[in-house]
Amino acid sequence: MRHRLPGTPLLDPREAAMCPKTAQADMSVMASVESIATKLEVIVVPVSDVDRAKAFYGRLGWRLDRTPPGIVQFTPHGSDCSVQFGPDLTAAAPGSSVAYLVVSDIAAARDAVVAAGVEVGGIFHVGPDGPVDGLDPERRSYFSRASFRDPDGNTWLMQEITTRLPGRVEGGLTSYGSASDLAGALRRAAAAHEEHEKRTGQRDDDWPDWYAAYMVSEQSGAKPPE
């Protein structure tokens, strides 16, 4: 038995063959939906004590935003998505939330959170048989992580990402959330460019263009320059 959401037309290839106009209309609706820019801007975190949660997220250095009464909103530095909590925002159990925080340097990020007085688990990486203590030996993007919890037990998993998988960023757009992220990208580009010059055996006077292409490829998942 196939299941569908209420109000959603059910269509398979056989039905499409019998109803070409319906299939065409369905494809048109899908194309229209895909063209709508839909930005994820807020996630709701379930907490039992709003004042305690407010003090915790303030200690992390996240920006406290102006909101209507009954809503507290914080935005992590460099993030387009904010976190909200309040007494009547969700029926979810306090501590049941799990979310990712993407960082460009997991070691520096962990040190900063620890310095803010927050208990953070040790850095680990994903191995063939599960989590392994320590940084990923090859410092591969997506592999190194560390986690911490807020006073209610909501989990925040920090994940080091420097090079995106292909297709992760639309249109090849490149942006950096902070000066430290940009500096890290420049350092990686410099190291890669040094290897590029070793391979070619000559100085590259067009290094700014090479740097730019490399930094865009990191975020878009495109093939880096050779």
Q: Would you write out the chain's pLDDT as a tens digit for each of its 226 residues?
A: 444 444 444 445 454 455 555 556 566 655 677 778 788 999 999 999 999 999 999 999 999 999 999 999 999 988 989 999 999 999 999 999 999 999 989 999 999 999 999 999 999 999 999 999 999 999 999 999 999 999 999 999 999 998 888 766 665 566 776 787 788 888 888 888 888 888 888 888 888 888 888 888 777 777 788 8
pTM above 0.75, yes or no: no
- How big is the CA angle at 99 (ends 72 and 52), to the nearest 5 degrees? 35
Provide the pairing of β-strand 82-85 with 42-44. parallel
Using CA of residue 134, residue 81, residue 178, residue 152, what is the dihedral sign? negative
Q: For tokens 């063939």, what's the residue?
A: 128
**Residue 119 one-letter amino acid:** E
Q: CA torsion angle for 86, 89, 90, 95 (degrees, to 10)? A: -20
